[in-house]
Amino acid sequence: MSSQYDLQILQEIEDPTIRPKLIMGESTTYASLDNDVIGIIEGFTQKTSIVWYLMIGATLSVLTMLGGIVAYLIATGVGIWGNQSPVFWGWPIVNFVFWVGIAHAGTLISAILFLLKQDWRTSINRFAEAMTIFAVCCAGLFPGIHVGRMWVVYWLFPIPNQMEMWPNFRSPLLWDVFAVGTYATISLLFWYMGLIPDLATIRDRATTKLRQGLYAVFSMGWTGSSRHWHRYEKAYLILAGLATPLVLSVHTVVSFDFAVAQLPGWHTTIFPPYFVAGAIFSGFAMVNTLIIPIRSIFKLQHIVTLRHLEVMNKVILATGSMVGYAYAMEFFIAWYSGNPYERFVFENRAFGNYAWAYWTMVSCNVIFPQLFWIKKIRRSVPAMLCVCILVNVGMWFERFVITVSSLSRDFLPGSWNYFKPTVFDYLTFLGSFGLFFTLFLLFVRFLPMIAISEVKGILYKQNHTGH
Amino acid sequence: MDNNQNDLPHLGLLAEYETPEALLSASEKVRDGGYKRWDTHTPFPVHGIDEAMGIKPTILPWIVLGAGATGTCTALLLQWWSNAVAYPFLISGKPLFSWIPAFPITFELTVLFAGVTTLFAMLGLNRLPQLHHPLFEVKRFARATQDRFFLAIDSADPLFNDSSARALLEGTGASAIEEVPNMGASKTPPMWLLQIAVVLAFASFVPLGVIYSAWENTTDKPAWHFVWDMDFQESYRTGEKVPLFADGMAMRPEIPGTVATGELHQNTEYYAGKTADGSLIGTAPVAVDAALLARGQQRFAIYCTPCHGDSGYGDGIVQRRAQKLISIGGANGWVSPTNITTDAIGGQTDGQIFNSITEGVRTMPAYGSQIPVGDRWAIVLYVRALQRAANATIDDVPAANRGGL
C-alpha cells in the first residue's frame, strides 16, 4: 500500500535539512491537480466503474434491507429489538452515539484546524466533511426509529400540534434534537460552500452537455471573481468560527442525555469533555480507515501524504490518551465519592457481567493507540489501518458499556436483567453501514474528494515561500 | 445597465495572466487608472488582491451578527413563551423559566441562524446564483476556475474607451486579451423554465394548506389506525370478565389466611400505640437508651422542625414565613403549629403523641406513611426530652455544672 511518495517522505522526514512538502510531486501544477482529482470523476467510464457498480450494488442491497427492517419495525414496534426492561436504551442509542461521534472529525478538521491555520487540513477536509454528513445521516436515523411511533416524531419539534402541547425545553433529549439538527445543517452548508468553486471547475472542464448543465446549477454560476472570493473567504471564516463551538457543543449535549439522568455510571460531570475527546478520537480513526484505501485506489498519495496520516495518528494518540484518562478518572471518582451505588456500577463494569465488553473497549481505545508512540508503527500504513479499525470497534463498545452496563444494573436489584440483542439489532446496525457507504460511494463518484481550490492555494504558498 | 447595451460591439475586455503576481501588478494599474466596473477572476483566492483592487471590507459580518442576535431572541422567546405561558410545564416545583436550562437551545439556535445567514448572505451579496454570465461566452475563460488568472474591464464603465483600455491591458504583460462578445438578449432563460418554477412555487404551499385545514377542522369520522396493535394493546381491566381463572375475575383476591411479607402487625401497642381494645397506651413500648434518643433528635430535625421549630416551640421556618405573609395580608386561615412543650401536650400520654404523628391532628398532616414505626417512637421520646428541657429548673442541672450558668 505504500507508494513512491510514501517512501520519499519517510526519507525527507528524517532529514532535518529538508522541510517536507504538504503537496508532493515535482510536476504537480494547478492543472495536474485538476486532472488528479476531477479526472477521477471524468474517467469513470472504464475499469473503475465496474468495481464501483459492484460495490454500490452491495451497499444498496444492504440499504434496501435496512428499509425493510424499518418498515417491519414501524408495523410491529420496537419489541423486535432486544430493548427490554430495564435496558430500554439498547443498541439504537449506542449506534446513535457511535455515529454522531464519528461525525465530529469533519467539522473539527475544517473549522478548528482552519482557525488554527493548519494548512495540512486542506488535503483531507473535503473528505472528512463528507464523512461527517453521512455519519450524521446514520446517527439521525436511530433516534428517529427508536421513538417507536415514527408518525408522530414531529412532536419533537416546536410546532403547534393538535393537542396544543409544546415540547419540554428543559429535557436534554430535546436539546439533542436542536444540537444534532443544527450540526447537520451547518455541516451541510459548510461542505456545500466549500464545494462551490470546485463544482465550477468541474463545470468548466466538462465535455458533455449534461455534466456541464448539472454542475453549472450546483456551482450557481461561480466565476472566481475576486470580489466574490473576498466575501466567500469572510463567510468561510465566520462559518469556521461558528462551527468551532458548535462541534464542541454537540457531543456535550449528547453526553447530557446521560449525565443529566440520575443513573449511577451516567450521572457525572466528566461526561461532556470525555465525550468530546472520544468523538474526535473515533472520527479521526474513521477518516484514516476510509482515506487509506481511497488514496491508494485513486492514486492521491501525493496530495494525501504519509505526513497527513501521521499527523492524524498523533491526534488519535492524544485523544485516545484523554479517553484513557477519563476511564481512569471515572473509577477514581466512583471510589472517592464514597457513594456505594456509584462504586458498585464501576466494579460491575470491570468485573461483572459485561467485563468482556469493558476490556474490549479498554484494549481497543487505550492500549492499542499507545502503539502510536512508536514512529515505525505511526508511519506504517498497514499498521495504522489496523489500529484505526480497532479504535472504531472500541468506540462502539464504549457506548455499549456506558449505555447497557449502567442500565442493566440500576438501583433496584429486582429489575436487573442481562441485555440480549436480537438479530434485528445486528441487521439495523449493519444497515446503517449500508446507508453510510452508499452515500460515500456516490460522493466518490460525483464530487471532488479533495478541496482543489484550497489545495491550489497551498501549492502556490508552498512554491512561493522558499521551501 | 444601459438601455443601449444591446447595440454595443462588445461588453468589455478580458486579459489573461499566467501567474497571480502578474495579475496583482495589472490590478494595481487598472485600479490606479480610475476604473470602477472591473473584476479579476482566479481559481483560488489570491493573497493581496483586495488591496490591489481596492475592495472594501464586506458588510457580511454585520448581517451575520444581526442574524445571530435574532436567533438568540427567538430561542429565548420560544422557550419562555411555550413552556411558561402557552403550556406551563411545572417540573419539581422549579420556576417555569430560568436561564441555565435555556442555554443549550439558545446557543444552538444562535449558531443555526447565524450560520444559515452566512451562506445565503454571502451568495446574495455576490448576486448568486446567476447561471449565465457574459464571460462564459469566452472560451478561454473556462480556465479561470482551473489554472489561469483573468482581469475583465466592463465596457459600461464611464471611463471605458476601447483603445485606451486595450493599451492599458497590453502594458500589463497579459498573455492574451480578448473581447467579451455581446450576445444580446438571446441568453435569457427559456420561458417554460420560468413557468415550471412558478407552478412548483405554488405547489409547495399545497401540503401546508392541507395540514392547516386538517388542524382547523373537526371530523366525526373514526381516526385512522396505522398500526393496530400499538393503538389497541390487549390487557385486562379491573372488574373485567376473563377466561383465565375459574372465578372469571381479572383481579386476583387475597388468599384467605395469608398476610403479605412484613404486614403482620399483631403487636398493636407497638404498631398503633393502642391496646387491643383501642385505647391509647401510656408509655412507649420501647427500651430507652441514648442511641434511640439521638435517633429521635435527628428524625425530629428532619420531619418536625420545619413547622414546630428546633425546640418544639412552634416557631419553625414555615411558621415564620406564614407570619411574614400575614403581616402583609396573606396566608388567610393559617393555623399555627402547636407549641409542643406546654403542659397541655406534656400531659398527653406517649400513645397519644405517637398517634398524632401517625394519624395527624386536625390541620397537621399524618406522617405514618413516611416515618417508619421505630423512628416514630424515637421521635416521641425526643419530644418528651424537649418538654423536659423547656420546663427545666435549676435542680435538673447536675451540681457540678451549675457554676457555668
Q: CA torsion angle for A310, A311, A315, A317 (degrees, to 10)? A: 30
> How many whole angstroms separate alpha carbon A445 and alpha carbon A38?
10
Element (H, E) at B178: strand B176-181
User: If we measure between CA atoms, which residue out of A450, A439, A443, A448 comes closest to residue A135?
Assistant: A439
> How many whole angstroms separate alpha carbon B119 and alpha carbon A408?
46
Minimum-distance CB partner of A234 among B49, B61, B91: B61
> How many whole angstroms separate alpha carbon A310 and alpha carbon A306?
6
pLDDT tens for the 467 residues of chain A, in order: 457 788 887 777 777 777 767 787 777 888 888 888 888 888 766 667 788 899 999 999 999 999 999 999 988 888 899 998 899 989 999 999 999 999 988 888 888 888 888 888 888 899 999 999 999 999 999 998 998 778 888 888 888 777 788 999 999 999 999 999 999 999 999 999 999 999 999 999 998 899 999 999 999 999 999 999 999 999 999 999 999 999 999 999 999 999 999 899 999 999 999 999 999 999 999 999 999 998 888 888 888 988 899 999 999 999 999 999 999 999 999 999 888 889 999 999 999 999 999 999 999 999 999 999 999 999 999 999 999 999 999 999 999 999 999 999 888 888 898 999 999 999 999 999 999 999 999 999 899 999 999 999 989 888 876 54
Best to test chain B binding among A155, A231, A252, A458 (most B CBs inside 10 Å): A231
- Name every chain A residue with its beta carbon within 8 A of the beta carbon of B223: none
Task: Decide if A186 contacts B105 (C-beta within 8 A).
Answer: no
Angle between helices B373-390 and B350-359 (to 10 degrees): 120
> How many whole angstroms separate alpha carbon A59 and alpha carbon A438?
5
> Which residue segments constitute the domains of chain A, with CATH numbers given?
4-463 (1.20.1630.10)
> How many whole angstroms separate alpha carbon B50 and alpha carbon B64?
21
Q: Does domain B270-400 have CATH number 1.10.760.10?
A: yes
> How many whole angstroms separate alpha carbon A306 and alpha carbon A3?
9
Q: Does A463 touch chain B (CB under 8 A)?
A: no
Contact pairs from chain A to chain B, CB under 8 Å = 207
Pick the residue from chain B with its C-alpha nearest to A199. B145
Cell numbers 450546483 label which residue? A218
Tell me the one-letter amino acid at A56.
I
Question: In this structure, what C-alpha cell is assigned to residue B64?
Answer: 451575520
Summarised one tens digit per residue, pLDDT across range A323-347 is: 999 999 999 999 998 888 899 999 9
Spans of chain B, pLDDT less than 70: 1-8, 184-189, 230
Mean pLDDT, all residues of chain A: 90
Question: Using the beta-carbon criterion (under 8 Å), do A148 and B230 form an inter-chain contact?
Answer: yes
Measure Cα distances from A99 to A34, A133, A430, B86, B335 in Å: 32, 10, 12, 36, 60
Question: Using the beta-carbon criterion (under 8 Å), do B119 and A162 form an inter-chain contact?
Answer: no
Q: Is A23 helix (H, G, I), strand (E, B) or coil?
A: coil
Question: Using the beta-carbon criterion (under 8 Å), do B215 and A160 form an inter-chain contact?
Answer: yes
The pLDDT assigned to A76 comes to: 84
> How many whole angstroms separate alpha carbon B155 and alpha carbon B180?
9
Cell numbers 455519519 label which residue? A135
Minimum-distance CB partner of A238 among B46, B79, B118: B118
- Name every chain B residue with its beta carbon within 8 A of the beta carbon of A243: 111, 115
Angle between helices A125-146 and A271-297 (to 10 degrees): 120
Half-sphere exposure of B190 (CA within 13 A, CB side): 3
Q: What angle do CA B225, B229, B232 make, to 5 degrees?
A: 75
Minimum-distance CB partner of B111 among A160, A216, A242: A242
Q: What angle do CA B102, B106, B110 make, to 5 degrees?
A: 175
β-bridge partners, B274: B280
Q: Is B179 helix (H, G, I), strand (E, B) or coil?
A: strand
- Name every chain B residue with its beta carbon within 8 A of the beta carbon of A231: 58, 60, 122, 125-126
**ipTM at complex level:** 0.93
Measure Cα distances from A288 to A275, A443, B4, B103 in Å: 20, 17, 59, 35
Q: Does A249 touch chain B (CB under 8 A)?
A: yes
β-bridge partners, B180: B12
> How many whole angstroms separate alpha carbon B132 and alpha carbon B365?
81
- Name every chain A residue with its beta carbon within 8 A of the beta carbon of B118: 189, 235, 238-239, 242
Task: Decide if A30 contacts B147 (C-beta within 8 A).
Answer: yes
Q: B296 vs chain A: nearest CA distance in angstroms? A: 25
Cell numbers 466538462 label which residue? A206
User: In the 8-state DSSP scheme, what is residue A18?
Assistant: -
Per-position DSSP letters for B348-404, written without gaps between them? S-HHHHHHHHHH-BTTBPP-TTTS-HHHHHHHHHHHHHHHHHHT--GGGS-GGGGGG
> How many whole angstroms separate alpha carbon B168 and alpha carbon B239?
100
Q: Does A229 touch chain B (CB under 8 A)?
A: yes
- Name every chain A residue with its beta carbon within 8 A of the beta carbon of B126: 225, 227-228, 231-232
The pLDDT assigned to A400 comes to: 95
Task: Decide if A249 contacts A186 (C-beta within 8 A).
Answer: no
Q: B15 vs chain A: nearest CA distance in angstroms? A: 14
- Name every chain A residue with its beta carbon within 8 A of the beta carbon of B119: 189, 192-193, 235, 239
Half-sphere exposure of B258 (CA within 13 A, CB side): 6
- Name every chain A residue with its beta carbon within 8 A of the beta carbon of B208: none
Measure Cα distances from A364 to A264, A274, A360, B50 in Å: 24, 16, 6, 50
The pLDDT assigned to B89 comes to: 84
- Name every chain B residue with its beta carbon within 8 A of the beta carbon of A159: none
> How many whole angstroms separate alpha carbon A382 and alpha carbon A124?
19
Pick the residue from chain B with its C-alpha nearest to A220. B129
> How many whole angstroms separate alpha carbon A189 and alpha carbon A182?
11
The pLDDT assigned to B250 comes to: 87
Measure Cα distances from B2 to B36, B135, B158 in Å: 15, 18, 11
The separation between the first and the last C-alpha atoms of chain A, rounded to the nearest angstrom, is 28
With 0-12 / 13-18 / 19 or more C-beta atoms within 10 angstroms meaning exposed / middle / buried, residue A24 is buried
Is the pTM of the predicted complex or chain greater than 0.90? Answer: no
Question: Using the beta-carbon criterion (under 8 Å), do A204 and B116 form an inter-chain contact?
Answer: no
Question: Using the beta-carbon criterion (under 8 Å), do B112 and A75 form an inter-chain contact?
Answer: no
> How many whole angstroms separate alpha carbon A42 and alpha carbon A55?
19
Residues B227-250, buried b or exposed e (16+ Cβ, 10 A)? Answer: eeeeeeeeeeeeeeeeeeeeeeee
* Percentages of chain B per state (helix, strand, coil), in multiples of 5: 50, 5, 40
- Name every chain B residue with its beta carbon within 8 A of the beta carbon of A227: 39, 53, 55, 126
Minimum-distance CB partner of B58 among A162, A230, A245: A230
Task: Decide if B79 contacts A207 (C-beta within 8 A).
Answer: no
The pLDDT assigned to B2 comes to: 43
The pLDDT assigned to B8 comes to: 67
Query: What part of A 126-155 touches B (C-beta under 8 Å)?
Result: 148-149, 151
- Name every chain A residue with its beta carbon within 8 A of the beta carbon of B154: none
Question: Using the beta-carbon criterion (under 8 Å), do A238 and B64 form an inter-chain contact?
Answer: yes
Q: A353 vs chain B: nearest CA distance in angstroms? A: 31
Return the number of other C-beta atoms located less than 10 Å from residue B346's C-beta. 16
Element (H, E) at B39: strand B38-41
Mean pLDDT, all residues of chain B: 89
- Name every chain A residue with its beta carbon within 8 A of the beta carbon of B85: none
Query: What part of A 29-68 touches B (C-beta under 8 Å)?
Result: 29-31, 34
Half-sphere exposure of A132 (CA within 13 A, CB side): 31
Q: Is B180 helix (H, G, I), strand (E, B) or coil?
A: strand
Q: Give residue limits of the domains in chain B.
A: 1-186, 270-400
- Name every chain A residue with its beta carbon within 8 A of the beta carbon of B136: 223
The pLDDT assigned to A46 comes to: 66
Minimum-distance CB partner of B119 among A34, A193, A204: A193
Question: Using the beta-carbon criterion (under 8 Å), do B126 and A231 form an inter-chain contact?
Answer: yes
Q: B381 vs chain A: nearest CA distance in angstroms? A: 32
Per-position DSSP letters for B7-29, written without gaps between them? GSSEEEEEEEESSHHHHHHHHHH
